[in-house]
Chain A
């Protein structure tokens, strides 16, 4: 049974329709007034006393979390707000300086909040697994502080199964010479939004984002990134590839802000999409706000179909058209992750690609 025919999906769709939540226009999400969803949010600005939550491989600590710490306004990205407003149980984990650790994160509840502190020079690899939820809306928030010289690898893949409305929000703050590699694969057939706020606060900080969306049906995925270069010699790169079949839709809203006095900043954004279905579509909006001259910032966007000459070449060697199509899809997707270092995340990513 396809996702959109399921009871869960129909309930989610009914909720969207009733609340007038945005479905296609990605910009609307950022300004969605949360008071319009009273049945979801118990009390905006509620006391967010956190509960401990255990996840595979990670021991959670209790932590009191003040809403004010997260700068939540009355109107903000729903993905940022929902977990806090729902008093999501918070999981806090500190990775000690110099530590090397790999972990799996699997939230216990429909609404989760995780706080990670990656200590100086620590090397941490986190794989975020989807939690199986029973409600039509689920949201998670991650606040991640990456200290000087630390390296963090985040890998997030949701499998092609039945999911409700999914919201995920990441707030990442990076100190000098820290590195974050963020890879995600969006594969399910539902409606979701991932938003990421990155502050590159220390000189030499590097943020690398790679995203692959392989969608079909009526799947609708929204990605919103805001990367602030607050220090000189910082680097950010965004590389997204989309394979969109049937009526699926992806929006990509990528903002880069380079502060005054931040010399030698290097920033790139590239989004490549292949529309496999006649009714699939993509919307890409790069926003570059640059307040300093001595920087290099690029952005690009391509959209098209599978290369007809490549299809012909493969089939003219006897490979059936459907197999040839999959070979080209995989090669398109694989390029995205080739530069990543060999490690658990890349291994897992290649496993996901093999299953396409």
Chain B
């Protein structure tokens, strides 16, 4: 489904952040990526999405056999990739619901489907907002404008629910969430997840993985995946940290 091979990327000054990432994600799988601060976890999601601050030096990222790196940013999204960044951007003046509708209809245009009308979109939006226990305040505000950290994360999952991506890359979705919000967001992700889809979670803590059971856990350090394992690896990392892992 998603295949990352030898992905290398650098920032403007030439510093290489990703030094050869390899990752295979199959439908129905949940992958958790853990690692110390500054190891390249957030960079990985941005590079896959096409953030202009990064230059890809080598590698291939394929989604269902198509190289995402050859596509425009919007094409990657419309092909089924969704990324949620650690700090969702605020866009004052762009209404949240209008933005969601624009995004959904852009995808439908890309897929050759007719645009969704207002009534159907309203129904879909209400259903997903109910799932995430979001109130009407989200409708009238600008995108992430004045939202708390937790509200922003909830709004990200709302977008994920409406856009219905094949692969979702969620960067520290659990940060800034209180206990109840963590449960709501995690339940939302589980609800959206299906055997045809995949989720990659970047997290520092086991607590998110208590709600969303990972198929695999990977440790990213110095721009490379240095260790992979099952759910038990996350528990060991929680207990012992990263120092025990020897880099190859």
**Is A24 close to B, CB under 8 A?**
no
| A334-B159 in contact (CB<8A) | no
Interface residues on B, range: 20 to 34
Given A316-B83, A318-B163, A321-B73, A328–B106 Cβ distance below 8 Å?
no
The count of chain A contact residues (Cβ–Cβ below 8 Å) is: 23
Is the beta-carbon distance between A319 and B142 smaller than 8 angstroms?
no
* With known contacts A312-B51, A312-B52, A331-B142, A319–B92 Cβ distance under 8 A: no
Q: Which residues of A contact B73 (CB under 8 A)?
A: 312, 315-316, 321
A314 to B159: give the CA distance in the assembly, Å: 11
CA distance A167 to B78 in the complex (A): 48
Q: Contact string, B162-179, partner A, CB cutoff 8 A, digits 1/0?
A: 010000000000000000
A209 to B248, CA, bound (A): 65
B89 within 8 A of A: yes
Contact of A313 among B50, B53, B91 (CB under 8 A): B91
Contact (Cβ within 8 A) A327 B92: no
A321 and B93: CB pair below 8 A?
Answer: no
The answer to whether the Cβ of B94 comes within 8 Å of any Cβ in the partner chain is yes
How long is the Cα–Cα vector from A318 to B92 in the complex, in angstroms? 19
Does A315 lie within 8 Å of B93, measured CB to CB? Answer: no
Given known contacts A316-B73, A317-B103, A331 and B89 CB-to-CB distance under 8 angstroms:
no
A335–B102 Cα gap in the complex (Å)?
Answer: 20
- Identity of the chain A residue whose Cβ is nearest the Cβ of B45 in the assembled complex: A316
Q: Which residues of B contact A318 (CB under 8 A)?
A: 74, 77-78, 103, 106-107, 110, 163
> How far in angstroms is the closest Cβ of chain B from A334?
5
Please give, as numbers and ranges, the residues of chain B lying within 8 Å of A307 by CB-CB distance: 89
Contact of B89 among A313, A320, A335 (CB under 8 A): A313
Cα distance A113–B228 in the bound complex, in angstroms: 79
B201 located at the interface, meaning its Cβ lies under 8 Å from any Cβ of chain A in the complex: no
B99 touches A314 (CB 8 A): yes
A308 at the interface (CB under 8 A from B): yes
Q: Say yes or no: B93 contacts A314, CB within 8 Å.
A: no
Contact of A317 among B52, B53, B77 (CB under 8 A): B77
Known: A319-B106, A320-B106, A323-B106. A309 touches B163 (CB 8 A): no
Give the docked Cα–Cα distance between A333 and B162 (Å).
Answer: 28
Residues from chain A with Cβ under 8 Å of B107 in the complex: 318
Instruction: Please indicate the chain B residues that have their CB under 8 angstroms from the CB of A334 in the complex.
Output: 93
How long is the Cα–Cα vector from A181 to B78 in the complex, in angstroms? 44
- 5 example contacts (A-B, Cβ-Cβ < 8 A) are as follows A312-B89, A318-B77, A318-B103, A320-B74, A331-B93
Besides A312-B49, A316-B83, 19 new A-B residue pairs in contact (Cβ under 8 A), listed by A number: A307-B89, A312-B52, A312-B89, A313-B143, A315-B74, A316-B49, A316-B74, A317-B99, A317-B103, A317-B106, A318-B107, A318-B110, A319-B99, A320-B106, A323-B106, A324-B74, A327-B94, A327-B102, A335-B92
- Residues of A bordering B, CB below 8 Å: 307-310, 312-321, 323-324, 327-328, 330-332, 334-335
